[in-house]
């Protein structure tokens, strides 16, 4: 008798036939033109490609910020295309961490207060919130900067605060759109080290980037052009 080991790889996302058509008066743009894609839990995936290729549109789909025109976007067991607005809001709050090029920190709040803001929708008690703020600032190497405001931090440090804010909710996935786009090389490497560490701890990462130095760190590299995805990991 042969015993076959069960497949242990869980799927974070499964997309089938995903299209997204933007309509503006007489003009239509097909930003996604039939995307089939699986992303394994724990993977580190980058998405490259020309401007206007559909990268941010795809990331918005993965982030439950938008629904496809046709097709299905499964996040675990949830179909983002068919879920209601309240459910999508809850999924975004609890399961998805976002990081953007522009950091999006509130300038009048300290690093700790900025991280704490991301926890607001979760309804945690004060002690648990404080614990998570301390823990996530430590994870990005900023334990000693909790009381600094964004203006008192370098670009790389500001982006690390934004990452801490995203991971404090203990999301299932971290989605980043050009997270190193505003940073010089040294700060970029600083952010890549943080992302790599989080990924090694099990966090699924999907990173949109123009920077091939970022893509080189990924386990899987995708290219999105004219709304169509190609796997270029071995290209
Ligand atoms: N809200 C919108 N309304 C209308 N068209 C849009 C909208 N958002 C994006 N598009 C169009 O959809 C296409 C894909 O845009 P998207 O922002 O996904 O590209 P991208 O790959 O992220 O580009 P970039 O590298 O410049 O960020 C583009 O042609 C864009 O003009
Ligand atoms: Mg974009």
pLDDT digits (tens, 9 = 90+) for 5-58: 544 568 899 999 999 999 988 999 999 999 999 999 999 999 999 999 999 999
Q: What is the model's pLDDT at position 23?
A: 93
**pLDDT, tens digit, 9 for 90 and up, residues 118-139:** 999 899 999 999 999 999 999 9
Alpha-carbon distance 233 to 235, whole Å?
A: 6
Q: 102 C-alpha vs ligand 2 centroid, how far in Å?
A: 12
Look at the block and give the residue holding tokens 């089938």. Answer: 16
**pLDDT, tens digit, 9 for 90 and up, residues 136-159:** 999 999 999 999 999 999 999 999
Alpha-carbon distance 77 to 187, whole Å?
A: 37
Alpha-carbon distance 73 to 16, whole Å?
A: 7
Q: What is the model's pLDDT at position 3?
A: 58
* Average pLDDT, integer, range 57-78: 96
126 domain-assigned: yes
Alpha-carbon distance 58 to 67, whole Å?
A: 10
24 domain-assigned: no
Instruction: Choose one of 22, 66, 230 to mutate for the ligand 1 pocket test, by most ligand atoms within 8 angstroms of C-beta.
Output: 22
Residue whose CA is closest, atom 28 of ligand 1? 52
Residue 151's domain comprises: 41-64+84-231
Residue whose CA is closest, atom 31 of ligand 1? 52
Neighbours of ion ligand 2 (CB under 5 A): 55-56
129: number of Cβ within 10 Å? 18
Q: What is the CATH number of the domain that holds 142?
A: 3.40.50.300
* Residues written for the chain: 235
Q: What is the model's pLDDT at position 10?
A: 87
Q: 99 C-alpha vs ligand 2 centroid, how far in Å?
A: 13
**pLDDT, tens digit, 9 for 90 and up, residues 169-225:** 999 999 999 999 989 999 999 999 999 999 999 999 999 999 999 999 999 999 999
Q: For residue 84, is pLDDT > 60?
A: yes
36 domain-assigned: no
Q: For residue 83, is pLDDT > 90?
A: yes
In the chain, DSSP assigns E strands to: 11-24, 27-40, 44-48, 70-75, 78-79, 96-100, 173-177, 204-208, 220-225, 228-231
Give how many domains the chain has, as a whole number.
1
Alpha-carbon distance 87 to 93, whole Å?
A: 10
Q: What is the model's pLDDT at position 2?
A: 54
7 domain-assigned: no
């Amino acid at each position: 008798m042969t015993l076959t080991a069960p497949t242990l790889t869980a799927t974070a996302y499964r997309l089938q036939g995903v299209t997204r058509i933007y309509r503006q008066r007489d003009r239509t743009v097909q930003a996604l033109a039939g995307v089939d894609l699986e992303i394994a839990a724990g993977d580190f995936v980058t998405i490259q490609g020309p401007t206007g290729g559909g990268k941010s549109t795809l990331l918005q789909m993965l982030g439950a910020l938008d629904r496809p025109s046709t097709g299905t976007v499964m996040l675990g067991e949830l179909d983002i295309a068919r879920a209601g607005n309240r459910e999508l809001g809850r999924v975004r709050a609890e399961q998805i961490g976002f990081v953007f090029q522009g950091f999006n920190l509130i300038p009048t709040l300290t690093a700790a207060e900025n991280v704490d803001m991301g926890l607001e929708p979760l309804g945690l008690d004060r002690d648990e919130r404080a614990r998570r703020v301390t823990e996530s600032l430590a994870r990005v190497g900023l334990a000693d900067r909790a009381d600094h405001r964004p203006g008192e931090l370098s670009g790389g440090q500001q982006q690390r605060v934004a990452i801490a804010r995203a991971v404090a909710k203990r999301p299932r996935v971290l989605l980043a759109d050009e997270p190193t786009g505003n940073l010089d090389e040294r700060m970029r490497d600083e952010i890549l080290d943080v992302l790599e560490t989080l990924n090694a701890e099990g966090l699924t990462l999907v990173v949109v980037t123009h920077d091939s130095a970022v893509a080189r760190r990924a386990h899987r590299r995708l290219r999105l052009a004219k709304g169509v995805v190609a796997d270029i990991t071995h290209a």
